[in-house]
Structure 1
Amino acid sequence: MHRNTTNMIYAFLKQKGGVGKTTLSIRTAAELSSRGRRVLLIDADPQGSSLGWSNHRETADFTVVGMAKATIHKEIECLAQDYDDVVIDGPPRVTELARSIILAADMVIIPLQPSPMDVWAAAETVDLVREAQVFNPDIKCCLALN
């Protein structure tokens, strides 16, 4: 996939729900926007929490769209063309949608709380990133204690 190299695509993913993916996605988009970046936040979680949040905000510092489709990796170039950065709020389960998000991402951030259950749940997402690195060795991954 060829993209504008100034774009950065951040994906927040985790097998387990309730770890702060949506909060971290929104805060990351807000911080990037406050730095003068043009930011697109894609709500790829079928629950639509980021979209729900955007419906209640008073100012539009960045764009929020819903796209819970397993074709994000195929459509990201078109979606990202008018933005400096894209932040993806992922689903709470490992699915074809999560795999598509990983393939679209430059950086996969796995939020977790400091508990053994969260660390174990992160392993499956890390394994998916490793699988995707066969196709795109430039995908980075990190854990974010939340």
Structure 2
Amino acid sequence: MLSGVNGAVSWEAGLRYETTETTVTDVDHSGATPVTTVNDTDEAELLPSFSLRWALSDDDRITFSAARTVRRPSFNFLSPALLTEEVGDSDFVGNPDFAGRDRHRFRPRLRASSGPPRRSRGEPVLPGHPGPDRTHQHGRRR
């Protein structure tokens, strides 16, 4: 990872190398003779990331981050074996050629501590206001 600071602006950049090797062996006994199927996958990904922070004051800052990520399917989605009543009441057969998904994330954020304090849901705390109704929590009346 590389990082730097120039006055009120700081940055970080990184690069991750991720590899995944999967071997799925299925033996189908439904016919007169068993049939064995082997599926091998070997995937490699470069996953860059970057973050930029600009300090507007001691309490306020703007942040922008971008990253490439990959989501891999779970083993059940890769296995060609019949899984009975796996999804709800339905049978399920996976696909050994099912590939992962690339995602590109971009997240601009503003951290500002000036102004009225806020609750976790972003609602301002106003003087004299009791806040959200908390009489019902977890299905019971307090």
For the superposition of Structure 1 and Structure 2, which TM-score range results when normalised by the shorter chain?
Answer: under 0.3
Whose strand fraction is larger, Structure 1's or Structure 2's? 2
Q: Which has the higher contact order (CA 8 A, sep 6+)?
A: 1
